[in-house]
Structure 1
Amino acid sequence: MKTIATVCARGGSKGLPRKNVLPFDGKPLIAHTIEQALACPRIEAVYVSTDDDETARVAEQAGAIVPYRRPAELASDAAGKLPVIEHLLQHLEAGGLRIGTVVDLQPTSPLRLPADIEAALDLAGRADLVVSVCEPSHNPYYSLAEAGPDGLLHLSKGEGAARRQDVPAVWGLNGAVYVWQRAALPRAVRDGFWRVSILPSVMPRERSIDIDDAQDFALAQWLFQQRKLQSRP
């Protein structure tokens, strides 16, 4: 039973057009994710699902396998990600591949490290799914509020607390790493993401940027450059 990585990368993007192939530190954005996956010894191959010829070409040049072009019905803004992954896995399994673990990596998280993927893989098998998380900037127990029917703000969760130490730890899914047990994915497609057992794998906030628009892209580039500067002897 193989451990593979999947990368889902549509050609279209409303927030930042063509973001998956935009140059990021001298190479297309998606190439960073593919190289990170290939740097993990336990990942035996990286497969990309895309509807776009340029994305496919860039992905193959970075070392990924692009077995087909994604059908149009799975490449729209309304298409969910889980059916896209399941479609790809079924295609690979129809060709004889036996898959036990699926490491799904979004191409918009270039700041993750191979070590972050490895840390999530270390937890694989202890739950249906391992997800990368980071500490959020706001905690719902004391600093997140929502408007009620009267238009007034009310605390999102809990009864109010004055100190961070007095409330439970909460985590934000950063989208960088998902490690699925293959058998659990059809159940998640059918019943929903939160219907499977999930364990967190913690990443620092500075590696948790998910690029959605030009502002995210600029911030990620700045953080990436800061990392390079700090790593110099």
Structure 2
Amino acid sequence: MSTGRTIATICARGGSKGLPGKNIREFAGRPLIAHTIAQALACEALAGVYVSTDDERIAQAARAAGATVPYLRPAELATDQAGKLPVIEHMVAHLEQQGIAIDRIVDLQPTSPLRESSDIAAALKEGPGAQLVVSVTEAHDNPYFNLVEQGADGLVRLSKGNGAARRQDLPAVYALNGSIYVWQRAALAHAAMHGLWSVGVAPYVMPRWKSVDIDTLEDFEYAEWLHARHFGQGAPRG
């Protein structure tokens, strides 16, 4: 029987170029990151919510929202070139050094404020036996139907298939939405060294409207519109 905890990690670097300060920009009455923290805190399966950041303003906002910020992220893990998996592994290893036994890590993207606590709980139940569960949404485009690649001759061709199949007969394809990653502990350690696709991955499907990832001002404004439409402007949510 498992004796370790399931925890949430939230990685929020201060140096956003697309929308400076986005993680603490006010979204529906709260700093953007506070929405993800509230969703994690409302999920009973999670034993702790930990934020990794290099920015003291983000750290303060995260603590005010109820998360734990054990340290400010080292500079070498806060560059544009630093991968996310080593950042999560660094946090988990730190917690383990403090005597916390961890079995699963739910990494939540702070720029995906439209997920709900119920999505986190559902993702935790997906893919029994999978090393990693990732949240996805049905893709707008399909490589069998309207995604094309340019060849050496300068001409474009379908990425997959020959275009003969009916659209309704084609396999469903999904896009990673970045919102939720449920890692088994050993898989995270392996992927931090060898890459995400080196482990067995199962999907958790989310609707498109919940899958907005905020990177630009236009994304932010669109997410605000969706939040107001589905939850009511400023409505508190877990």
CA RMSD of aligned residues (A): 1.4
Structure 2 residue matching 1:130: 3-state secondary structure: strand
- Partner residue of 1:104? 107
Write the mapping of 1:135-150 to structure 2, written as runs, cut at 5 A.
135-150=138-153
Q: Judge conservation of contact 2:127–2:203 (CA < 8 Å) in 1.
A: no
Identify which of 21, 24, 33 aligns with 2:27: 24
Paired with 2:101 and 2:81, the residues of 1 have a C-alpha distance of 30
Paired with 2:62 and 2:32, the residues of 1 have a C-alpha distance of 10
- Partner residue of 1:118? 121
**Does residue 44 of structure 1 match 2:47?**
yes
- Partner residue of 1:186? 189
Worse-matched range after superposition: 136-145 or 158-167: 158-167
Letter in 2 for 1:28: P
Q: Judge conservation of contact 1:133–1:201 (CA < 8 Å) in 2.
A: yes
User: What fraction of aligned residue pairs are identical, expressed as a percent?
Assistant: 61
> How far 1:228 moved relative to its partner?
2.3
Give deviations 1:32-86, integer Å, cap 9, x for gaps.
0000001100001100000000000000000000000000110001000000000
Structure 2 residue matching 1:150: 3-state secondary structure: coil
Paired with 1:222 and 1:153, the residues of 2 have a C-alpha distance of 37
Give the gaps of 5 or more residues in structure 1. none
Give deviations 1:136-164, integer Å, cap 9, x for gaps.
11111111112111222111111114632
Write the mapping of 1:192-211 to structure 2, written as runs, cut at 5 A.
192-211=195-214
Give the gaps of 5 or more residues in structure 2. none
Q: Judge conservation of contact 1:142–1:155 (CA < 8 Å) in 2.
A: yes
Q: Judge conservation of contact 1:13–1:19 (CA < 8 Å) in 2.
A: yes
Letter in 1 for 2:67: A
**Does residue 223 of structure 1 match 2:208?**
no
Paired with 2:131 and 2:197, the residues of 1 have a C-alpha distance of 11
> How far 1:229 moved relative to its partner?
4.4
Letter in 2 for 1:224: H
- Partner residue of 1:81? 84
- Partner residue of 1:33? 36
Q: Judge conservation of contact 1:5–1:104 (CA < 8 Å) in 2.
A: yes
Paired with 1:57 and 1:162, the residues of 2 have a C-alpha distance of 54
For CA contacts below 8 A with separation 6 or more, give which structure has more relative contact order: 2
Identify which of 47, 56, 68 aligns with 1:53: 56
Q: Judge conservation of contact 2:76–2:82 (CA < 8 Å) in 1.
A: yes
Paired with 1:56 and 1:111, the residues of 2 have a C-alpha distance of 21
Q: Assess, with a 3 A threshold, how the Cα gap between structure 1 residues 102 and 77 changes in structure 2: closer, same or farther.
A: same
